[in-house]
Chain A
Amino acid sequence: MRENVVIRTVTRLMVPFIQVFGLYVIVHGASGAGGGFQGGVAFAAAFILMVIAFGLPDVRARFGNRGIMYASIIGICIYAAIGLLSLLYAGNFLELAVIEEASGIPHLHGILIDIVEAGIGITVMAVMISIVYYMTDTGGDSS
């Protein structure tokens, strides 16, 4: 890829902010507008920007196909694990209020929702990045 100082410098500056914003949107999901899906997409946007600025091989070297696959699996597992946790407390799937009642920890409900949102965010981020990888991939090295 042709050197472009402006794009690279701006990307270096932007990426941390985009990622922090993504995390903010994910965590904000329990109490206001936002959530795992939107936050995950925002987080993935940082990676997509890096793919544009630094090229696919550089980004892929840090976050390869295997990492993406693990991330997408772990995200759903977090979601399902929290959902199934409420079954242990005789609630329905994702009925998190019963856990808060049984354990007596205040605001546990909101914390658990944040964890669920984080799970969604991880999976959405991984899938978004993998879509970009597959679309920009021209064959060759694939791990």
Chain B
Amino acid sequence: MMLLDQLPILLVILSMLATLLVLGAGWYNRSVCYGIVLLTIIFQFVVSVLLLTRVMNEGTVRYYVGGWLPPLGIELVIDSFSGFILVTIMFLALASVIYLKKSIEKEVPYEKTVSFYVLLQLLIIGLIGMTITGDIFNLYVFLEISSIAAYALIATSRRSYSYVAAFNYLVLGSIAAGFILLGIGNLYVTTGTLNMAELAVLLPASYELSTVHAAFLFMIIGFSIKAAFFPLHLWLPDAYTEAPSAVTVLISTVMAKVSIYALFRMLFSVFTPSYIIESFPITDFILIVSTIAIIAGAVLAIAQTDLKRLLAYSSVSQVGYIMFALGVANLIALEGGLLHILGHAVMKGCLFMVAGAIIYQAGTSRLSDMKGIATRMPISCAAFALAGASMIGIPPTIGFMSKYYLVLGALDAGLWLYAAILLAGSLLAVVYIWRFIEIAYFAGGDHGDHAPQPAFLGREVPVSMLAPMVSLALLCLFLGICIEPVMGIVGPAAALLLGGA
């Protein structure tokens, strides 16, 4: 019982110790590293589920590090929103860690594997920390931990261009971190506290100060870069394409979602909804930019010739959907947005896993090299089709449910035109998902007498890669059908953001 109270800090500290264990063990025997990483992730997943059930039963869990109460000390907060995000990211991290063992053997040079696992652990610890902290400066520290780990992870790939991609991301990520730090500094100057709950209480008195407006803009710009919100997404396609495919799965699902979480947290829990709607009306602007993001991301995705790059631009489009919820800012749309965080993580994780599986077997991610691949890798392609259907938003999938709530929210707010654009974005998704489906299933290699795929010898990927892929694809379907328990978590979280609960 006593240990249960300590779970929030154990989640961070024990993982940190496990990271050191990986580093130390790696000097003696590289093969034990993976086992330690896997055990740690399972531990983190179990703990996050325990925490979420506790939050659901007993309300928000607060943990004071060192026994110091909030204005002085650092606080860890798990409420329904952060608990939901925590379970989501830990589940996807677990899936991608199971997936990555075989994949990185091929894509990461042997001498880099120990540091790869260490960085992987640090990335996940940083993301967990960002999710559960209740202190904005602590948020920044964890953001830096995860970002630096991510820059290095992207550069571990064998492809030489990955260094350029990682460097671009490093520059943009550092600019983002600089903006966020400036924002934090401004808030601290204004209120004299770094605690989120405290800030939410103290800020309304100084809503009209230009310092606060500047802090708000700095925060929005910084986290938008991190989350790859449309005009600030330029680092994303290269980073996703050049990273080892297992890392792409991790950063596209887990890391991108935590950045969006941090943005939501800042906008709704630090600056309250009354600020972003009344004092500094930014929701209309976000609404316009997010619809542009939805369309532009999808159009750019259609134009790509590389599967991973196509999926990367699709992520830009999907971030638009999540930000759309922020722009509408009513309960139904926010429920849809949060649902889309979960749904997009699951389906994009699955799609990138399939892309990684194809790279694993064929060594290429060019769409033109994939003709008739469905006959060689039927299970992977079926998983892609299912997750793709969810991406488009075909009924009983999770993608349909989240878009349904988003459209419902938009209609509720009287935004007919925006709802129509949302649906148009789905139609564009049909086009880019269909591009792969058509090439995989219908551009059969039988009658095409030129350039048969040399690397394709009728092999499916190993089970350790197939299992997470298929379970994520099935989850897209399952979550869409059994939406009730998910809504039981998402509903309170959305209400909490709007300040109701």
Query: Hey, which bits of chain A sit against chain B, CB under 8 A?
Result: 66, 69-70, 73, 76-77, 80, 83-84, 87, 90-98
Query: Which residues on A sit within 8 Å (CB–CB) of B66?
Result: 92-96
Assess the A92–B64 pair: CB atoms within 8 A.
Answer: yes
B57-87 Cβ-contact flags toward A at 8 Å (1 or 0): 0000001111100000000000000000000
Query: A121 vs B462: C-alpha distance in the bound complex, in angstroms?
Result: 46
Query: A91 vs B63: C-alpha distance in the bound complex, in angstroms?
Result: 11
Chain B 1-42 interface residues, beta-carbon cutoff 8 Å to A = 2-3, 6, 9, 13, 16-17, 20, 23-24, 27
Could you write out 5 A-B pairs with CB less than 8 Å apart? A70-B24, A73-B23, A76-B20, A87-B3, A92-B64
CB distance from A10 to the nearest CB of B (A): 36
**Of the candidates B6, B20, B23, which one forms a contact with A93 in the assembled complex, judged by CB atoms under 8 Å apart?**
B6
Given the known inter-chain contacts A92-B64, A95-B66, please indicate yes or no for A73 contacting B13, CB distance below 8 A. no
Assess the B67–A95 pair: CB atoms within 8 A.
Answer: yes
In the complex, the 10 A-B pairs of residues with the closest C-beta atoms, listed nearest first = A95-B67, A94-B66, A93-B9, A73-B20, A92-B67, A95-B66, A80-B13, A93-B65, A73-B24, A80-B17
Given the known inter-chain contacts A80-B13, A83-B13, A87-B6, please indicate yes or no for A94 contacting B65, CB distance below 8 A. yes
CB distance from A80 to the nearest CB of B (A): 5
**Interface residue tally on B, bucketed by range:** 10 to 19
Query: A95 vs B64: C-alpha distance in the bound complex, in angstroms?
Result: 9
Query: Which residues on A sit within 8 Å (CB–CB) of B16?
Result: 76, 80
Most chain A CB within 10 A, of B2, B27, B63, B66, is at: B66
CB distance from A55 to the nearest CB of B (A): 26
Query: Which residues on A sit within 8 Å (CB–CB) of B64?
Result: 92
**Of the candidates B2, B6, B17, which one forms a contact with A77 in the assembled complex, judged by CB atoms under 8 Å apart?**
B17
Query: Which residues on A sit within 8 Å (CB–CB) of B23?
Result: 69, 73
Assess the B27–A66 pair: CB atoms within 8 A.
Answer: yes
Assess the A92–B9 pair: CB atoms within 8 A.
Answer: yes
Query: A96 vs B64: C-alpha distance in the bound complex, in angstroms?
Result: 13
* A interface: dominant SS: helix
Give the tally of cross-chain contacts (CB within 8 A): 42
Query: A93 vs B27: C-alpha distance in the bound complex, in angstroms?
Result: 30
Query: Which residues on A sit within 8 Å (CB–CB) of B27?
Result: 66, 69
B8's nearest neighbour on chain A, judged by CB, is A93
Beyond known contacts A76-B16, A77-B17, A91-B67: 20 more, CB 8 A cutoff? A69-B24, A70-B24, A73-B20, A73-B23, A73-B24, A77-B20, A80-B13, A83-B13, A87-B3, A87-B6, A92-B9, A92-B63, A93-B6, A93-B13, A93-B65, A94-B66, A94-B67, A95-B66, A97-B67, A98-B67
Query: A69 vs B2: C-alpha distance in the bound complex, in angstroms?
Result: 34
Chain B 105-164 interface residues, beta-carbon cutoff 8 Å to A = none
CB distance from A111 to the nearest CB of B (A): 16
B5's nearest neighbour on chain A, judged by CB, is A92
Query: Which residues on B sit within 8 Å (CB–CB) of A73?
Result: 20, 23-24
Most chain B CB within 10 A, of A69, A80, A92, A97, is at: A92
CB distance from A59 to the nearest CB of B (A): 21
Query: Which residues on A sit within 8 Å (CB–CB) of B20?
Result: 73, 76-77
Query: Which residues on B sit within 8 Å (CB–CB) of A66?
Result: 27
**Of the candidates B2, B9, B13, B24, which one forms a contact with A90 in the assembled complex, judged by CB atoms under 8 Å apart?**
B2
Query: Which residues on B sit within 8 Å (CB–CB) of A92?
Result: 6, 9, 63-67
Query: Which residues on A sit within 8 Å (CB–CB) of B9?
Result: 92-93
A97's nearest neighbour on chain B, judged by CB, is B67
Query: A70 vs B20: C-alpha distance in the bound complex, in angstroms?
Result: 10
B19's nearest neighbour on chain A, judged by CB, is A76
Query: A33 vs B116: C-alpha distance in the bound complex, in angstroms?
Result: 37
Query: Which residues on A sit within 8 Å (CB–CB) of B13?
Result: 80, 83-84, 93
Query: A85 vs B67: C-alpha distance in the bound complex, in angstroms?
Result: 14
CB distance from A57 to the nearest CB of B (A): 21
Query: A113 vs B27: C-alpha distance in the bound complex, in angstroms?
Result: 31
Query: A97 vs B66: C-alpha distance in the bound complex, in angstroms?
Result: 9
A65's nearest neighbour on chain B, judged by CB, is B27
Chain B 275-302 interface residues, beta-carbon cutoff 8 Å to A = none
Query: A98 vs B67: C-alpha distance in the bound complex, in angstroms?
Result: 9
Chain B 188-240 interface residues, beta-carbon cutoff 8 Å to A = none
A95's nearest neighbour on chain B, judged by CB, is B67
Query: A87 vs B67: C-alpha distance in the bound complex, in angstroms?
Result: 11
Query: A73 vs B63: C-alpha distance in the bound complex, in angstroms?
Result: 26
A83's nearest neighbour on chain B, judged by CB, is B13
Query: Which residues on A sit within 8 Å (CB–CB) of B24?
Result: 69-70, 73
Query: Which residues on B sit within 8 Å (CB–CB) of A69?
Result: 23-24, 27
Query: Which residues on B sit within 8 Å (CB–CB) of A84?
Result: 13
A92's nearest neighbour on chain B, judged by CB, is B67
Query: A91 vs B9: C-alpha distance in the bound complex, in angstroms?
Result: 12
CB distance from A104 to the nearest CB of B (A): 19
Query: Which residues on B sit within 8 Å (CB–CB) of A97?
Result: 67
CB distance from A126 to the nearest CB of B (A): 12
Query: A94 vs B65: C-alpha distance in the bound complex, in angstroms?
Result: 7
Query: A65 vs B486: C-alpha distance in the bound complex, in angstroms?
Result: 49
Query: A76 vs B17: C-alpha distance in the bound complex, in angstroms?
Result: 8
Query: Which residues on A sit within 8 Å (CB–CB) of B63?
Result: 92
